[in-house]
Amino acid sequence: MDSLLVVYHALPSMLSGSLVTVGNVTISLAMGLVLGVPLAVAQVYGGPWLRRLVALYVWFFRGVPILVLLFLCYGLFISLGLPADPFLICCLVLGCTSTAYQSQIFRGAIESLPQGQLNAARALGMGETTGICTIILPQAMRLSIPGWANEFSILLKDSAICYVLGTQDIMARTSFVAARTHEHLALYAAAGCIYFLLTLVVLKVLRRLEEKVHVPGYSSGMGSEGMGVG
């Protein structure tokens, strides 16, 4: 009963922290979307040097642990005399990491489309940029929804590590209360439930979006592993 009482009193603070977590994930995911699409296009249609640069970026942010990137970015801000706001740094690091992963999601979607579509657009007098923006990308974005949903769930779980910089997210608030009350098991179980519910709700929404934009008889070609919550 004492554990439940501690969780009950800590829940408002943990739910407030969930707003910070959602804000962090939303900004990072949006950054990954805005930057990931051009990187995917560059990797598929760009020249050799551009493809190598994109591959290097993807290799770096997929290969270095997020915790290391957080400390590197924090140290860089301090060295340059910039205000080292923990929330901003976490959004920047998670956004750059998500950009690398999302670029590969969109690249796979683009490459799954028939190559003749862009040639047909050129035959109709369209420029390559116009053909990519009006024909290729709308289809690729629709096919990317399952992988994008999977990226959201991964990014939400990765955001838990941001508490090491002092962001007032779910994990930071849970850790603070647990240190004072020593009810670690109950509090971290409650935090896990909050993360699970956030993931469940968003994946349900994305599942509905996938069904809404699905074209009957048109296979996505990417599977639906990312939408594992039915």
The 10s digit of each residue's pLDDT in 70-124 is 999 999 999 988 888 999 999 999 999 999 999 999 999 988 888 777 777 777 7
Rounding to the nearest 10 degrees, give the CA dihedral for residues 96, 86, 75, 94. Answer: -10
Q: What is the DSSP letter of 38?
A: H
Measured between alpha carbons, how far is 53 from 203 in angstroms, rounded to an integer?
33
Two structure tokens written together for 54: 């994109």
Task: Pick the more confident residue, 7 or 217.
Answer: 7
Task: Pick the more confident residue, 205 or 118.
Answer: 205
pLDDT at 223: 41
pLDDT at 229: 39
Weakest-pLDDT range from 67-81, 100-114, 128-142, 180-194: 128-142
Q: Which sign, positive or negative, has the C-alpha torsion 10, 161, 105, 131?
A: positive
Mean pLDDT of 166-193: 89
CB count within 10 Å of CB 5 equals: 12
Identify the residue whose tokens are 């968003």: 202
Q: Is-contact 194 170, C-beta < 8 A?
A: yes
In one letter, which amino acid is 110? I
CA of 164: how far to CAs of 23, 38, 60, 159, 214, in Å? 17, 32, 22, 10, 41
Two structure tokens written together for 23: 């804000």
Measured between alpha carbons, how far is 168 from 21 in angstroms, rounded to an integer?
8
Rounding to the nearest 10 degrees, give the CA dihedral for residues 137, 139, 141, 147. Answer: -130
In one letter, which amino acid is 93? V
Please give the model's pTM, rounded to 2 decimal places: 0.84
Burial 105-117 (b: 16+ CB within 10 A, else e): bbbbbbeebeeee
Q: What is the DSSP letter of 214?
A: P
Radius of gyration, alpha carbons of the chain: 21
pLDDT at 76: 92
Weakest-pLDDT range from 28-32, 78-82, 224-228: 224-228
Rounding to the nearest 10 degrees, give the CA dihedral for residues 56, 83, 176, 31. Answer: -40
In one letter, which amino acid is 71? F
